[in-house]
Amino acid sequence: MTGVRCMLMRGGTSKGAYFLAADLPSDPAERDGLLLRAMGSPDPRQIDGIGGAHPLTSKAAIVAPSADAAADVDYLFLQLGVEEPTVSDRQNCGNLLAGVGPFAVERGLVPAGGDRTVVRIRMLNTGSVATAAFPTPGGAVDYDGGTAVSGVPGTAARIDLDFAGTEGSTCGALLPTGRVRDVIDGVEVTCVDNGMPVVVAAASDLGATGYETDLSHLRDRVQSLRLRAGGLMGLGDVSAASVPKTTLVAPPRDGGMICTRTFIPLRMHTSIGVLGAVSVATALLIDGAVGHDLAEFPPPGAPMSVEHPTGRLDVVVELDGTAVRRSSIVRTARKLFDGTVFPRSWP
């Protein structure tokens, strides 16, 4: 039985297996097969692998030194199906991104840079660059700290993530349909991509309050919306893709800017993705976008707090008209296990 070096990390509100690209087969089909066997997919319980039986815990990050002068490391995100033997690189993950800088230091790809280390990460899924800054006192990553992330028990060290070039990074434009609003299946939507393709709709337009904890009855309507939106957004047939996501918005009720329920793409997210939240917040800032009139905006410069089923996620987005000046977010991550994973031997 051949094992592969692997580190398990929590990144934000997700959990995944982190690998050095050099430790995996270079052939993508061979690599994907190995990852599915390591995760235990396809199986709803992923009982024969290290996956956590949920899309948020069935993820892989593949990290390598970057050949790009604008970055220190390259990060490829792969979403592994739980019940299906699928591996998709069609979306990015801002949660696993939080662990990439620490992982790069742990594996010696980037030297620790004093009390805090800054790592520039080229996100291969979308071609954009993120900068991660995190504590490395005494030359080692310090995961402990006082920063809380909704959806994660306890506190951990703060990781600052700044994004550049995320606008339209999957679809080619911030408003991929060329319009602020579209009508799909009789529902007004705003399609947006500031790092994650998302279809934003008012919960009330789908007969929901937007505060529910179970919206599984909307599955078919969400699927129809996103299939049509995928075409309009230039993504083609998205029936087997995890993008676009769909976010239902409602007025905030917990002191935030907006309340959200997000489908990834059909199961409801227990919170909301990082770039998903950045994209939704960006849409809300645009005059005429769905949700703009439901939002209660904070004073300029203050973070925008996106309410979700398990708390709130604060994002900073600065727009110049419809051009993005800046997007950033605070996350935490933690090394959970470092060792060797043994993928099952049968396909």
SS3 letters across 263-328: ECCCCECCCCCHHHHHHHHHHHHCCCCCCCCCCCCCCCCCCEEEEECCEEEEEEEEEECCEEEEEE
Q: Write the Ramachandran bin of 234: left for phi over 0, alpha for psi from -120 to 50, otherwise beta.
A: left
Residue with tokens 């996501």: 245
Site for ligand NQM in 169-198 (CB under 6 A): 196
Q: Is 13 in the site for ligand NQM (CB under 6 A)?
A: yes
Residue 201 binds to ligand NQM (criterion: CB under 6 A): no
Compose the 113-152 pattern: x for residues touching ligand NQM by CB under 6 A, - for all others. Answer: ----------------------------------------
Q: How far apart are CA 244 and CA 90, in angstroms?
A: 10
Nearest CA to 158 out of 173, 172, 141, 170 is that of: 141
Cβ distance to ligand NQM smaller for residue 242 or 328: 242
CB of 56: closest distance to ligand NQM in angstroms?
Answer: 6
Among 95, 128, 150, 170, binds ligand NQM (CB under 6 A): 95
Nearest by Cα to 128 from 331, 324, 339: 324
Of 6, 50, 93, 112, the residue at the interface with ligand NQM (CB under 6 A) is 93
> Counting Cβ atoms within 10 Å, is residue 316 exposed (0-12), middle (13-18) or buried (19+)?
middle
- For ligand NQM, the nearest residue by Cβ is 273
56 touches ligand NQM (CB under 6 A): yes
Q: Does 334 bind ligand NQM (CB under 6 A)?
A: no
Q: Which residues, numbered 269-308, are part of the site for ligand NQM (CB under 6 A)?
A: 273-276
Residues binding ligand NQM (CB under 6 A): 13-14, 55-56, 92-95, 196, 242, 245, 264, 273-276
